[in-house]
Amino acid sequence: MDVLVLIGRILFAALFLGSAFGHLKQTKTMADYAASRGAPSSVPVIRGGGLLLLIGGLSVLLGIWADLGALLLAVFLIPTALLMHAFWKESDAQARQLEMVQFLKDMALAGASLMLLALISHAGGDLGLTITGPAFDIG
């Protein structure tokens, strides 16, 4: 089971690490896009999101308090889905469909993050192939 969880962590974290680098290297572009979607568009907000993605992604990937990292990813994903992909505000059918797909993707990833939080917290020190045990103990 440890190897399967490790492979899952690697595949899961890859998406967030790539996105983190986009947020941190293209902050102005991301801020402009956020503004176009009606979301908070300040550079600090975008950088903060990038840091959540980076810290959460690295935590999950490396197994350093991976449960906390999963929680950080959920903290990023849920507001992002609500603010950036508000499909219910779209009048154009194609734009509505595109935003609904992005909204559902973010919410599904948030759900997976919360499941990962529960799995790692519950497994405690029994989950191998991690650098540290979990930050939380939900036994």
Q: Where do the domains of the chain lie?
A: 1-123
Closest CA relative to residue 117, chosen from 80, 66, 79:
66
DSSP state of 89: G
Over residues 4-26, the mean pLDDT reads 97
Q: For 70-126, how does the pLDDT look when each residue is reduced to its tens digit (9 = 90+)? A: 999 999 999 999 999 999 999 999 999 999 999 999 999 999 999 999 999 999 989
Which residue stretches of the chain are H helix? 2-25, 27-36, 43-62, 66-84, 93-123
Whether the Cβ atoms of residue 135 and residue 70 lie closer than 8 Å to each other: no
Helix axes 43-62, 2-25, angle to 10 degrees: 160
Quick check: 139 pLDDT over 80? Answer: no
